[in-house]
Structure 1
């Protein structure tokens, strides 16, 4: 009897926080984000950037699958704990195989197939656990079956087929696998469960922290072999400031407002906010931060490596587009997430997006350090304006009383 209790699934309750095992699970994503950034940095060609984006989309799908599952049953109790470790193993193997997810490296196993099989294992464990935890909930069981019929069969099957192909056909199959998975999830119904809105919002806030942490790591990696100097110091502080301003843009008000709507929504509306504001609209934020990481890494290398570059050299091509475009993507995702949940459109953030897009071609003619400073200045102006212009509603939302 005691053994049966130890294996029993324990439902997640309202008010619960993210478990330590879920944070441990996220370490695999930390590694995956690092590998994706390195993959893009090693070859910033358009084709390779597309590949990096596709891999990131699949690793994101791995993470969000367990964010939903962990909101139904506790990740650190019963057989779910074992399932989380098995899923971590599969996700870690997939992350290790990212450099050869498209092209096999000489020696060893066939990389693309190993990646596809590891991904399949993670998805099957997720499906099995959702099947078990929906045993007493007919609506959830029906939703799981309906979702699995399309999501698992489309996504994983096409990915396995893609592992046997090369070139344009392979990339097309990856696109089809991811698009099919995402679209089927969108249309498969709203019969899911949100047992703890606070846990769900915290889970996504933490993955934003994880991604921003990767952007800071990229600053250090970009100059780890170079002697410290004033250009490196200034560029590092500017990069840190940009990451901090993105943190501010997300957590100061927007995250609180979206979580408030998620908590007070009921029925299908709550599921739609969770799926659209969090699962879907958070993805461009993650892509944006990873792109920013690549740009920051290149800027630090430019300003620190005097043997190959001067302080007058401009950042151009993919690194510059990733630097500015990453911030643009982050802001677009944040605007979309908040708008879907609250109905409020962040006009000032949309203006910042347009301004950054307009400044990108200008930045190609500026020294890399100046381009970085200009990006930081735009974000600083945005956050400063919002803090002053919306001081009263900000105070009301954060503390429940007018300033």
Structure 2
């Protein structure tokens, strides 16, 4: 690789701070709560609730990744405001299990606080360019946060409608107000979002332990737990197999004028689908542990296969946005994952084995097509 391609990454070698890692611990709890919600209510309504809340939460969580990409939390005021933002996220997380019931107000208030901290920090400390860009985007974010806040105090379908409208405003925000004024540091941006994916995959491992709680540790339980861990590992490989540097160079190669929008497509829209897939797989895995020899209910089989399909589709969209490899292999893998649903209706362990085989096949075919060895890349 030439020095010309390495230069943009070297110029923007800002790394994730320990305070950001501490901030991410709150997001672990958010994903735990969403997985628990979906596992307890594994139907279309539960899936819609989890997807809507994840979309709303992830928009503002991603906003903090953009914030710390431009604002280093290196003084008392910034760190204090980051702590207030963490408190807002913690409030949101606590409200998740009953967010469509009595805890809706807490979800709305927490989200409004997080939005206010994000906007304030960006305008106060983000620099002239980021402040101007945020001033354009702030009214749209405020509209979304207000809809979430009001929705938290309204009953029934009004809450659904207002929160769905808030999510729609979030998705459309980069097109309503251009985001070209934000400066993206590729190394920090790629690393921060990679850590989010690691956190999410960690939740899928935690789901194995939670699902096994209270069960006798016998060879069958160990075998199905190992299968679940292997599935999580292969999901890690799918995302991180090329190493961080490939994504850094791809993002750095985009001209600065269009880099923010490419980052939004790759790390905003695509990562929502990808992370939703991880949550759904974790909920499905939690149900399977301890019942490897049993038939799955349709919802459980769909969760396992559909979650992995969402993950692969999200990863394909992420790769397409950055121009990384042939995304078609991942899309084909999603179709194969869905084809395992009938097997899960016969035996749960068989579906887990089939899903592991699907990921191995995708990775092997992709490696052969690219002419590289079948092993994950990494930093030297």
The TM-score with structure 2 as length reference comes to 0.91
What's the counterpart of residue 114 of structure 1? Answer: 106
What's the counterpart of residue 43 of structure 2? Answer: 45
Question: Which stretches in structure 2 are left out of the alignment for 5+ residues?
Answer: 1-10
How far, CA to CA, are the matches of 2:322 and 2:89 in structure 1? 31
How far, CA to CA, are the matches of 1:184 and 1:389 in structure 2? 38
Distance 1:367 1:343, change over 3 A: closer
How far, CA to CA, are the matches of 2:313 and 2:183 in structure 1? 25
What's the counterpart of residue 194 of structure 1? Answer: 183
What's the counterpart of residue 81 of structure 2? Answer: 83
Per-residue Cα deviation, 1:102-150 (whole angstroms, up to 9, x for no partner):
101xxxxxx211210111001101100011124x51x433321211112
What's the counterpart of residue 5 of structure 1? Answer: none
How far, CA to CA, are the matches of 1:351 and 1:191 in structure 2? 34
Is the 1:204–1:278 contact (alpha carbons within 8 Å) kept by the matching residues of 2? yes
Question: Which stretches in structure 1 are left out of the alignment for 5+ residues?
Answer: 1-12, 105-110, 304-310
What's the counterpart of residue 256 of structure 2? Answer: 267
1:64 aligns with one of 62, 65, 82? 62
What's the counterpart of residue 319 of structure 2? Answer: 338
What's the counterpart of residue 142 of structure 2? Answer: 152
Is the 1:140–1:191 contact (alpha carbons within 8 Å) kept by the matching residues of 2? no
What's the counterpart of residue 329 of structure 2? Answer: 348
Number of aligned positions between the proteins = 370
User: Aligned-pair RMSD on alpha carbons?
Assistant: 2.2
How far, CA to CA, are the matches of 1:148 and 1:254 in structure 2? 34
Per-residue Cα deviation, 1:38-60 (whole angstroms, up to 9, x for no partner):
11111213212211222222221
Q: Secondary structure at the match of 1:191?
A: coil
The TM-score with structure 1 as length reference comes to 0.86
Per-residue Cα deviation, 1:183-212 (whole angstroms, up to 9, x for no partner):
123431133323521011000000000000
Is the 1:215–1:289 contact (alpha carbons within 8 Å) kept by the matching residues of 2? yes
The Cα shift of 1:354 comes to 1.7
Per-residue Cα deviation, 1:369-390 (whole angstroms, up to 9, x for no partner):
1111111111112122323442
2:305 aligns with one of 316, 320, 324? 324
Runs of 4+ in 1 over 6 A off after TM superposition: 397-400
How far, CA to CA, are the matches of 1:187 and 1:277 in structure 2? 19
The structure having more radius of gyration, on CA atoms, is: 1
Residues 107-186 of structure 1 mapped to structure 2, 5 A cutoff: 111-134=103-126, 136-137=127-128, 139-153=129-143, 155-186=144-175
Is the 1:314–1:367 contact (alpha carbons within 8 Å) kept by the matching residues of 2? yes
